[in-house]
Amino acid sequence: MDQTDSISEMILRSKRLVVFTGAGISTESGVADFRSPGGIWERFDPNELNYQSFLASEEGREKYWQFSRVLWTEIAKAQPNAGHHAIAELHRLGKLECLITQNIDSLHQKSGVPEEKIIELHGTLKWVNCLECGQRYPREQIQARLDSGTKVPRCDSCQGIMKPATVAFGQPMPEEETRQAEAAAAACDLFLSVGSSLVVYPAAQMPLIAKDNGARLVIINLTPTPHDHYADIVIQEKTGPALSRIAKKVKALLS
């Protein structure tokens, strides 16, 4: 039996499926993994882009916004691929309890997964927050300022420091999203990890929380992960084709 047949049957039997996604699902949409050849770390030094440097000086903020401007330009044009659409299909079939993602590109929302079913562990690029008064701005609005020559945008309401609503190196993880993800992982009966190298913590802890609480664990990733030996099934291939086959089989089983 094809492993995707087994996964499809597991999804069919599942009452609480949690899907967890990492950068590997978005690379098939042309969003380069930061660390991969051609990734953004070849153009920017991550050591200069940590949260402490951002808070410490105008120069640090200017470097961060240069990086974010380039990142947004690349991500804004990306479209969901077959993997994103397959997860959206699982939602439409009534089989998706929750989607936890490490990605900041909003491609899951674009594919049709409702916002309320998505937990963004590392934040999102589509918003910019004022760190002082909490005002939130659509990214397109701030990007227009950057494109017109503004180097470090300031809040209209209080002139406070603004930052993309993503988690920078050295910045605390969002408490509410982390709590929600841990609770969802602990309560699920099937945890499907897709396109994540499972090396960035605390996000990489989520599959282990699920497994420790009795869930079955499936890992789909192009390369091996440190958690493969915990998994019930491991598939090493591109996420788009694998997820497409799975969603198609689940739909056939339900019809």
Q: For the chain (length 255 residues), average pLDDT per consecutive 10?
A: 90 98 92 63 74 94 92 91 98 98 96 97 95 95 94 96 94 94 98 94 94 98 96 96 97 93
Rounded to whole angstroms, what are the CA distances from 6 to 1, 90, 223, 236? 7, 16, 20, 15
Residue 205, domain CATH: 3.40.50.1220
Query: Among residues 154, 239, 243, 143, which one has the least CA distance to residue 196?
Result: 239
Residues 185 and 240 in one domain: yes
Please tell me whether residues 87 and 161 are part of one structural domain: no
Q: CA-to-CA distance for 2 and 148, rounded, in angstroms? A: 53
Kindly name the residue from 85, 91, 122, 227 that is annotated as catalytic. 122
Q: Centre a 10 Å sphere on the Cβ of residue 182 and count the other Cβ atoms it contains.
A: 17
Q: Is position 108 annotated as part of the catalytic site?
A: no
Pairing of strands 118-120, 136-138: unpaired
| pLDDT score recorded for residue 137 | 97
Among residues 113, 135, 166, the one where a domain terminates is: 166
| Same-domain status, 116 and 233 | yes
Describe the strand order of the beta sheet including 216-220 as a list of residue ranges. 118-120, 98-101, 17-21, 190-194, 216-220, 233-235
Q: 130 and 4 in one domain? A: no
Domain count, the chain: 2
Q: Which domain does 208 fall in, by range?
A: 1-30+80-122+174-255
